[in-house]
């Protein structure tokens, strides 16, 4: 009897493990954006990083806005930047799953809008004796000002709503990093997203990917145009919501530093050090 119970217990544990790692089938055939190792397509039209902004405008149409950080297509949920590269060519593509109208956007939790806050959130933070110190008129004034300020932020007025085909595997709104990595385990190279400790606070700095934290996760890419890397980053809010997917293009300075480091490594290996 005891052995039978032990057997059933093991079977139950196995079933639970299977369920926790089960990957739900996601149809990628209708993905608006499909990303390969070098470049991507938007509705079947090819685009490459490291090319002039004008090439992207031919495919995406005229951008809605030009902020200090990026060109923004409000109706597509997409932004691109060229300021990170010295040659003023496209250095990154952002697909946004959250914007300023989300609960996170209204409460200062988006990574590029820490100073944005709704009137309602301000009122909720300023309570005394069970009543807000902020009047209804002040709330309306805050929100009216926000409608004007929105145009200066990188976040599109509409989010990207389709699934993304990233190297043949899905990324979509609401997915945790462990879910995304569960699909990417089948890649022929080390394609999992690992934590990037941008704030240098030592938290989750080991690359552990079995849990989702706020911050950035990066996946390795391949050398593309001019030998520079195309890489991928997921950015999460402190509430563990997927904020955006970035497809990045290595800057010239980072490329030069990487090549110097690689040459140094090969030299040490050659000399047996």
Residue 9 belongs to a domain: no
For 183, the 3-state DSSP assignment is helix
Q: Helix, strand or coil for residue 257?
A: helix
125 vs 150: CA distance, rounded Å: 21
Judgement on whether residues 253 and 124 belong to the same structural domain of the protein: no
Same structural domain, 141 and 57: no
Verify that 222 and 246 share a domain, yes or no: yes
For residues 83-108, give the mean pLDDT: 88
Average pLDDT, the chain: 84
Strand positions, DSSP E, the chain: 33-35, 40-42, 45-47, 65-66, 71-73, 78-81, 92-96, 127-128, 131-132, 164-166, 169-171, 194-196, 215-223, 229-236, 242-249
| pLDDT value for 89 | 87
Do 182 and 84 sit in the same domain of this protein? yes
In-domain check, residue 15:
no
Total count of domains within the chain: 2
6-16: average pLDDT = 38
Q: Are residues 69 and 184 in the same domain?
A: yes
Determine the pLDDT at residue 170: 95
Tell me, what's the pLDDT at 253?
Answer: 86
**Judgement on whether residues 62 and 179 belong to the same structural domain of the protein:** yes
- Per the domain annotation, does 25 fall within a domain? no
**pTM listed for this prediction:** 0.84
| Confidence at residue 202, expressed as pLDDT on a 0 to 100 scale | 44
Split at pLDDT 50, 70, 90, the class of 10 is very low
Residues 180 and 233 in one domain: yes
> Are 197 and 142 part of one and the same domain?
no
Res 94: pLDDT: 97
- Token pair for 6: 């032990």
Residue 62 lies in a domain: yes
216 and 147 assigned to the same domain: no
Which residues constitute the domain of residue 184? 33-101+158-258
8 Å CB contact between 225 and 49: yes
- Does residue 37 form part of some domain? yes
In a domain, 108, yes or no: no
235 touches 243 (CB < 8 A): yes
Do 200 and 229 fall into the same domain?
yes
Share of the chain above pLDDT 90, in %: 58
Q: Is residue 264 part of a domain?
A: no
| Residue with the larger pLDDT of the pair 116 and 24 | 116
Q: With beta carbons less than 8 A apart as the criterion, state whether 168 and 189 touch.
A: no
Question: What is the separation, in whole angstroms, between the first and last Cα of the chain?
Answer: 60
Task: Say whether both 187 and 76 belong to one domain.
Answer: yes
Same domain, 134 and 247: no
Asked whether residue 18 is domain-assigned, the answer is: no
Give the C-alpha distances (Å, rounded to integers) separating 198 from 89, 93, 214, 215.
24, 19, 11, 7
In 3D, which of 169, 209, 182 has the Cα closest to residue 18? 182
Poorest-pLDDT segment among 16-25, 64-73, 219-228, 247-256? 16-25
Q: Residue 8 pLDDT > 80, yes or no?
A: no
């Amino acid at each position: 009897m005891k052995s039978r119970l032990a057997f059933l217990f093991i079977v139950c544990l196995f079933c639970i493990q299977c369920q926790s790692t089960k990957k739900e089938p996601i149809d990628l055939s209708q993905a608006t954006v499909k990303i390969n190792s070098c470049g991507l397509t938007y509705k079947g039209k090819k685009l490459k990083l490291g090319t002039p902004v004008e090439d992207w405008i031919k495919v995406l149409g005229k951008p809605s806005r030009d902020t200090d950080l990026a060109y923004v297509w409000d109706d597509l949920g997409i932004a691109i930047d060229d300021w990170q590269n010295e040659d003023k060519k496209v250095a990154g593509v952002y697909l946004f799953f959250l914007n300023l109208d989300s609960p996170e956007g209204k409460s200062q939790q988006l990574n590029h809008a820490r100073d944005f806050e709704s009137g309602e959130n301000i009122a909720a933070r300023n309570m005394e004796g069970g009543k807000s110190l902020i009047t209804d008129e002040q709330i309306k004034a805050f929100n009216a000002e926000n409608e004007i300020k929105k145009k200066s932020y990188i976040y599109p007025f509409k989010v990207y709503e389709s699934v993304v085909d990233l190297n043949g595997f899905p990324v979509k709104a609401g997915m945790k990093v462990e879910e995304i990595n569960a699909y990417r385990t089948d890649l022929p190279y080390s394609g999992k997203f690992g934590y990037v400790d941008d704030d240098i606070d030592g938290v989750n700095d080991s690359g552990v990917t079995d849990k989702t934290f706020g911050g950035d996760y990066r996946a390795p890419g391949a050398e593309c145009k001019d030998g520079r890397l195309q890489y991928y980053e997921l950015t999460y809010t402190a509430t563990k919501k997927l904020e955006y997917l970035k497809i990045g293009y290595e800057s010239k300075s980072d490329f030069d530093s990487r090549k110097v480091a690689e040459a140094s490594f090969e030299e040490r290996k050659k000399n047996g050090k």
